[in-house]
Structure 1
Amino acid sequence: MAQNADTTELDERWRDGAELRWLYLDMNSYFASCAQQDEPAIRGKPVIVVPVMSDYTCAIAASYQAKALGVKTGTQVKEAREKIPGLIVREARPDRYVELHNKILEQIDHVIPVEKVCSIDEVVCRLMGPQCLEAPARALGHRIQRRILENVGECLTSSIGIAPSRLLAKTAADMKKPLGLTVLRQDQLPGALLDLDIDEFAGIGRSMKMRLNKVGVETVRELWDMSPSRMRQVWRGIMGENFWYALHGTDPPEIETHRASITHGHVLAQELRPVEHARGVARRLTAKCGSRLRRMGYKCGGLHIYLRGADGEKLEAATRFAVTSDSFRMLQACDELWAQCARKLKGPRVKQIVVTCLHLLEAGMKPDLFGWTPEGEEDGRHMNLLSALDGINQRFGKDKVTIGPPTKMHGFVGAKIAFNRIPEQPEFWE
């Protein structure tokens, strides 16, 4: 299998049988730990973090004290309160999580360069030269953990995995929490992996586990003994073969990806769910998409709207237009799509809205001739006005100036932290 030379061949001086190439750091109960760091009075106590203050939402993070009492991520707040009288509930603060995330990156960079930020609470670093030996690699990991605790916050513990492949390093980071450090050596594989369940590996979710079980694979030993071709059959593609190599300590080549869309979504508070109020939320999300496009240097050639009604029905509509970052043009498209969906909506209330900008193009690139017409050219007056609006809101605060009447919404609307995307600080002001 073809691989990158710089990641597969180690200098003979740095070989001890471990073949270590990656250090993976995973912050422990990150959102809850941030809350405890900011409020000394709640340290050492059961804490959960929620997206909105409601007994009917679910925890998006739980402190280790809460986990020890049976409350975890996904537990409904009402149920969590019943299990833990006196449970401390805090609303999510995405801007603070990004701020602390950046401080954590600074501390890691003092020890070893960050190769890739995997999520708000996970990063991976490439080991090189003598760092590939087990003793120096362990020392690096402990130095990183200490620097974060001493220079960012005593509640911000992390677990570290060190291994030959990124998959195994991530797996190792999950094996001992909190404040763990686990090394998986090439010359001892599968070793400690045999004590895991097969769905503890990234890439094996519920449906893949069922697929593996169907072909008689229920243990890590059985998973380990599969051939690359057999994994390719079960995964129904090259990802299965790639998983085999990663599981056995060799990184498959990375696939380069390009941004294809920008999405902002929001679960509506009760007072915003009537259709007439929900439309304002859709427009606000669209305006945020436009502001983000301009800041990132992109234009879009289409818009998609998804609605989920309060009774569970799902509606969506999409349209294409000449590429633009003109919020006025995008809002016009939003209104047209909203009208299409609203006509089909059976109930009078909307629970969730997702707006997606499609067919992205870098602002300096010429669009395809097909579908490009003079009428689609951006209005210079609009763009000058929007540039001024963006500058005012970045300087003086979000929604100081809006297109149309402001919508009363959660302060972090559209700037949520997704698994694989960390909002940039300017997003909290758009």
Structure 2
Amino acid sequence: MQKAQIRQWDDGSGLKWLYLDMNSFFASCEQQADPCLRGRPLIVVPVDSEYTCAIAASQEAKRLGIKTGTQVKIAKQICPDLKVVQARPDEYVRIHHRILEEVDHVIPVEKICSIDEVACRLMGPETVEAAARALGHRIQRRILSNIGECLTASIGLAPSRMLAKTAADMQKPLGMTVLRRDQLPGPLLDIDIGDFPGIGPATKARLFRAGISDPRQLWHLSPSRMRQLWGGIGGDQFWYALRGVDPPEIETERGSISHSHVLAVELRPVEAARAVARRLTAKCGSRLRRMGYKCGGLHLSIRGTQEGRAQAERLFMATADSFRMLEAADALWDVCVRTLNQTSIKKVSVTCMRLVPADTAPDLFGYSPAADEDPRHMRLLEAIDALNQRFGKDRISIGPKPKLHEFVGAKIAFNRVPETPEFWE
């Protein structure tokens, strides 16, 4: 009976994944929040500056050629009536969680791929194309009805997660694309090879140099040739994913925590920028303690307004003591400023390296990482963390508080959604 059911559900499509990709997510959130922005060209920016770049563009802006990465000054030249909105990461994360709830009402979320992309595994009768399409339409309708009419999603259905992500990008906005195993590579032959996940500008350029310029040529490469072109196992994984077979997941351990900030004009003098470096270091310390880690080193990088970048790092005994970390940050700052030899700083980045769990037990030989923490410091820092989480970020700060963007350090990276407590650190 079980085998008969499996054959009944096998329609030749091989579908295993439903991939949801929100369309122009940050811009759509802003249009949903403010009806006056709907139907208008809009970009979302990290800071209020003519020289920063868009981190999102509405569908209307994209039709004019304005996209993510376009400088504000250039975007305004293209469209003088362009609306420019400063990013509100906490609002985007809040809506992200609402989207997860709506998806979960239809099908469990297998993996959160980014703040605006999730993957769901299809099982049993869900793998039949008609049933999978019905699930996708239900998700689209629920988001539009229960969260907002501006929040459109495109759906991709395919045998591998990589192909499902590719499919989700093929029809926007509010599209649905099915890539069946029994029709491959047909539907893929009309897209640009740079549209495949995992083929960024550097890989695309490498493929071009090897004479690979379209999906048909890519499809006919052998696994060994792909491994050679990718420079490792990533080539083998891409070969299988392209044919609808998911490569095994590779689990990685967290090795670092980092925060960076592009400085507004008034924060670019060296002393003002130094305060930003200290604030980012303190935020790293707060995040270490919340996540139950200690770090064994600090890396500082600064970029000048002119060409040039300086970086330095210092290793030390494992700690989550912000006062110890700030001492290291001050020393690294002096080194970087001397090396850069500029009076104006454009970007500051701080990274905590060599993370170890705070409760790391001794190994078989009795060794555990030596820690450098003053018990008085740790009690004070725990109290500061608790007060800031309860009453708001920076109610209590270590040293003078720089005039920073409200969400400094709570950056939404492509593959990482900030946790809610980060907005209060």
Using structure 2 for the length normalisation, give the TM-score.
0.96
Q: 1:100 aligns with which of 91, 95, 109?
A: 95
Aligned twin of 1:240: 235
The secondary structure found in structure 1 opposite 2:26 is helix
Instruction: Quote how far apart the aligned CAs of 1:13 are.
Output: 3.2
In the TM superposition, 1:329-408 aligns within 5 A as 329-366=324-361, 376-408=371-403
The answer on whether the counterparts of 2:44 and 2:55 sit within 8 Å (CA) in structure 1 is yes
In the TM superposition, 1:316-335 aligns within 5 A as 316-335=311-330
Counterpart check, 1:68 vs 2:63: yes
In the TM superposition, 1:110-129 aligns within 5 A as 110-129=105-124
What stretches of structure 2 of length at least 5 have no aligned partner?
A: none
Counterpart check, 1:275 vs 2:276: no
Counterpart check, 1:194 vs 2:184: no
Report the AA paired with residue 111 of structure 1. Answer: V
Instruction: Quote how far apart the aligned CAs of 1:377 are.
Output: 4.0
Deviates more, 1:382-391 or 1:11-20: 11-20
The secondary structure found in structure 1 opposite 2:154 is strand
Aligned twin of 1:11: 6
Instruction: Quote how far apart the aligned CAs of 1:367 are.
Output: 6.7
The answer on whether the counterparts of 1:361 and 1:367 sit within 8 Å (CA) in structure 2 is no
CA distance in 1, matches of 2:354, 2:233: 27
CA distance in 2, matches of 1:420, 1:146: 26
1:362-416 CA distances to partner (integer Å, 9 max, x unpaired)? Answer: 111047888955xx44221111111110011111111110111111111110001
Report the AA paired with residue 177 of structure 1. Answer: K
CA distance in 2, matches of 1:377, 1:283: 19
The secondary structure found in structure 1 opposite 2:259 is strand
Report the AA paired with residue 318 of structure 1. Answer: E
Report the AA paired with residue 214 of structure 1. Answer: R
Aligned twin of 1:145: 140
CA distance in 2, matches of 1:215, 1:168: 23
The secondary structure found in structure 1 opposite 2:360 is coil
Counterpart check, 1:294 vs 2:289: yes
Instruction: Quote how far apart the aligned CAs of 1:70 are.
Output: 2.1
Instruction: Quote how far apart the aligned CAs of 1:343 are.
Output: 2.2
Instruction: Quote how far apart the aligned CAs of 1:357 are.
Output: 0.4
Counterpart check, 1:304 vs 2:304: no
The secondary structure found in structure 2 opposite 1:348 is coil
In the TM superposition, 1:163-178 aligns within 5 A as 163-178=158-173
CA distance in 1, matches of 2:270, 2:368: 33
CA distance in 2, matches of 1:340, 1:199: 40
Q: 2:130 aligns with which of 121, 129, 135?
A: 135
CA distance in 2, matches of 1:411, 1:53: 12
Using structure 1 for the length normalisation, give the TM-score.
0.95
The structure-2 alpha-carbon separation of the partners of 1:60 and 1:54, relative to structure 1 and needing over 3 Å to count, comes to same
CA distance in 2, matches of 1:345, 1:212: 36
1:128-159 CA distances to partner (integer Å, 9 max, x unpaired)? Answer: 01000000000000000011111111100000
Deviates more, 1:399-408 or 1:31-40: 399-408
Counterpart check, 1:222 vs 2:249: no
In the TM superposition, 1:24-35 aligns within 5 A as 24-35=19-30
Report the AA paired with residue 288 of structure 1. Answer: K
CA distance in 1, matches of 2:346, 2:266: 10
Deviates more, 1:261-270 or 1:73-82: 73-82
Aligned twin of 1:264: 259
CA distance in 1, matches of 2:374, 2:80: 59
CA distance in 1, matches of 2:338, 2:182: 64
The answer on whether the counterparts of 1:285 and 1:414 sit within 8 Å (CA) in structure 2 is yes
Report the AA paired with residue 252 of structure 1. Answer: P
CA distance in 2, matches of 1:192, 1:43: 33
Report the AA paired with residue 52 of structure 1. Answer: V
The structure-2 alpha-carbon separation of the partners of 1:384 and 1:19, relative to structure 1 and needing over 3 Å to count, comes to same
Aligned twin of 1:3: none
The answer on whether the counterparts of 1:323 and 1:367 sit within 8 Å (CA) in structure 2 is no
Counterpart check, 1:180 vs 2:175: yes
Alignment: residue pair count: 419
Instruction: Quote how far apart the aligned CAs of 1:214 are.
Output: 2.0
Aligned twin of 2:15: 20
Aligned twin of 1:415: 410
The answer on whether the counterparts of 1:120 and 1:417 sit within 8 Å (CA) in structure 2 is yes
The structure-2 alpha-carbon separation of the partners of 1:68 and 1:398, relative to structure 1 and needing over 3 Å to count, comes to same
Report the AA paired with residue 117 of structure 1. Answer: I
Report the AA paired with residue 229 of structure 1. Answer: S
Q: CA RMSD in A?
A: 1.4
CA distance in 2, matches of 1:422, 1:231: 31
Report the AA paired with residue 428 of structure 1. Answer: F
What stretches of structure 1 of length at least 5 have no aligned partner?
A: 1-9
The secondary structure found in structure 1 opposite 2:49 is coil
Instruction: Quote how far apart the aligned CAs of 1:41 are.
Output: 1.2
Report the AA paired with residue 221 of structure 2. Answer: M
Aligned twin of 2:39: 44
